[in-house]
């Protein structure tokens, strides 16, 4: 009896397989293999740009993904084929880097501060390969410059942009309570929270209000964290607890954890706004676009893109790229749907604050800011 079942199962699988082929396999074959994208002057098909993700993976709707997009777009422009690998654990970084070196990569972009040790080790072992690390200064020995001449750090003073977002949040809040929480308490995350809370405090000082910012204590460098960069119940319950404390603007910092905050807000049925991080989430996460007051932008895509193009022309240098408000490496997104709901003077005020930060009259201090 089991025999006949097996025959039936195999027969069924074969039938399904054949029908799939019949249904899909009738198109005409391509005439020749036209192989030649990449346009004119910047083209350098022999150049191999490569990238190693951190454990978030390239589909994290956040900084791995932005870096990946920057890499693939630049590769398309120069007609090169990029090679990208994902890491599943912190023990994977070194192996991934050495395998990419074996594949003949010319430029290896490592995404994230957690890859610093592996990047420095890889750069020192392979002096003829160029390395770029996002979100870290690659300065392990603490002498103020990258540990190896073939590493170019791409870092961002995100606190400046987060300051603007904090100011906007304080201005928008009707309950007088705003909140934030993060994935893991690492500098690229807490720098957002530093700027955000200071922005709220600055608003209070200017307007004589007393908007409270929950979830992060700048002085103690201590706050609420989910413990990981995955969406899930931890993130949802942290968002929930902020909602319960009457917060009406929430800033979740850390890859995809914001999606759980969206859920928590929808569940609560209250009128609560969110602030996105890294990319303009109004554009990249349309499912929740009605919730985003603004987003804190980090120019990773542009940064990676430019480094790849430069390196492909043989113009790689190890001068760090520091994204600031001044060079538009960081910024905040438009209010989109909230345009009509925010104070009409807010845009002008933010412009003033922005100028103040750039000329140094307004101080944004974060221990996580890149030293320049």
Binding site for another protein (CB under 8 A): 1-2, 6, 21, 24-30, 55, 83, 85-86, 88-92, 95-96, 99-100, 102-103, 113-114, 117, 121, 142, 184-187, 190, 221-222, 227, 367-368
Phi, psi (degrees; rounded to nearest 5) at 367 = -60, -15
Work out how close the CB of 95 gets to another protein at its nearest, in angstroms, rounded to a whole number.
4
| Residue number, 8 or 328, with CB nearest to another protein | 8
Work out how close the CB of 27 gets to another protein at its nearest, in angstroms, rounded to a whole number.
4
| Residue number, 184 or 358, with CB nearest to another protein | 184
Work out how close the CB of 363 gets to another protein at its nearest, in angstroms, rounded to a whole number.
19
**Rounded CA gap, 314 and 293, in Å?**
42
Work out how close the CB of 89 gets to another protein at its nearest, in angstroms, rounded to a whole number.
4
| Residue number, 89 or 205, with CB nearest to another protein | 89
Work out how close the CB of 61 gets to another protein at its nearest, in angstroms, rounded to a whole number.
18
Contact 270, 296 (CB under 8 A): no
Work out how close the CB of 119 gets to another protein at its nearest, in angstroms, rounded to a whole number.
11
Closest CA to 216 of 171, 185, 239, 241: 185
| Residue number, 153 or 299, with CB nearest to another protein | 153
Contact 345, 313 (CB under 8 A): no
| Residue number, 114 or 265, with CB nearest to another protein | 114
**Rounded CA gap, 155 and 49, in Å?**
19
**Rounded CA gap, 49 and 126, in Å?**
15
Contact 152, 315 (CB under 8 A): no
| Residue number, 96 or 295, with CB nearest to another protein | 96
| Residue number, 123 or 169, with CB nearest to another protein | 123
Work out how close the CB of 114 gets to another protein at its nearest, in angstroms, rounded to a whole number.
7
């Amino acid at each position: 009896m089991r025999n006949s079942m097996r025959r039936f199962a195999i027969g069924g699988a074969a039938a399904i397989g054949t029908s799939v082929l019949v249904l899909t396999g009738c198109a005409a074959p391509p005439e020749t293999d036209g192989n030649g994208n990449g346009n004119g002057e910047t083209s350098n098909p022999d150049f191999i740009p490569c990238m190693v993700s951190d454990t978030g993976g390239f589909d994290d709707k956040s900084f791995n993904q932005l870096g990946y997009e920057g890499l693939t777009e630049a590769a398309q422009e120069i007609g090169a084929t990029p090679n990208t690998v994902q890491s599943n654990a912190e023990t994977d970084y070194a192996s991934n880097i050495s395998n990419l070196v074996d594949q003949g990569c010319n430029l290896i972009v490592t995404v994230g501060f957690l890859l610093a040790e592996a990047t420095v080790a890889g750069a020192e072992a392979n002096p003829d390969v160029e390395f770029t690390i996002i979100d870290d200064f690659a300065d392990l020995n603490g002498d103020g410059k990258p540990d190896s001449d073939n590493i170019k750090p791409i870092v961002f003073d995100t606190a400046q942009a987060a300051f603007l977002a904090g100011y906007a949040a304080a201005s928008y809040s009707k309950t007088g309570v705003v909140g934030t929480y993060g994935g893991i308490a690492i500098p690229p995350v807490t720098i957002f929270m530093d700027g955000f809370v200071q922005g709220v405090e600055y608003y209070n000082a200017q307007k004589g209000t007393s908007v409270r910012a929950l979830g992060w204590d700048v002085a103690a460098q201590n706050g609420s964290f989910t413990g990981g960069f995955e969406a899930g119940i931890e993130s949802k319950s942290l968002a929930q607890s902020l909602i319960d404390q009457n917060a009406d603007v929430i800033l979740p910092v850390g890859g995809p954890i914001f999606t759980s905050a969206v859920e928590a807000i929808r569940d609560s049925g209250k009128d609560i706004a969110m602030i996105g991080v890294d990319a303009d989430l109004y554009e990249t996460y349309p499912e929740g676009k009605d919730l985003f007051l603004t987003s804190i932008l980090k120019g990773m895509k542009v940064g990676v893109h430019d480094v790849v193009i430069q390196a492909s022309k043989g113009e790689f240098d190890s001068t760090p790229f520091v994204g600031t408000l001044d060079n538009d490496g960081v910024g905040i997104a438009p209010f989109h749907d909230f345009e009509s709901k925010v104070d009409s003077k807010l845009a002008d005020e933010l412009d003033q604050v922005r100028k103040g930060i750039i000329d140094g009259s307004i101080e944004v201090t974060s221990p996580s800011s890149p030293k320049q």
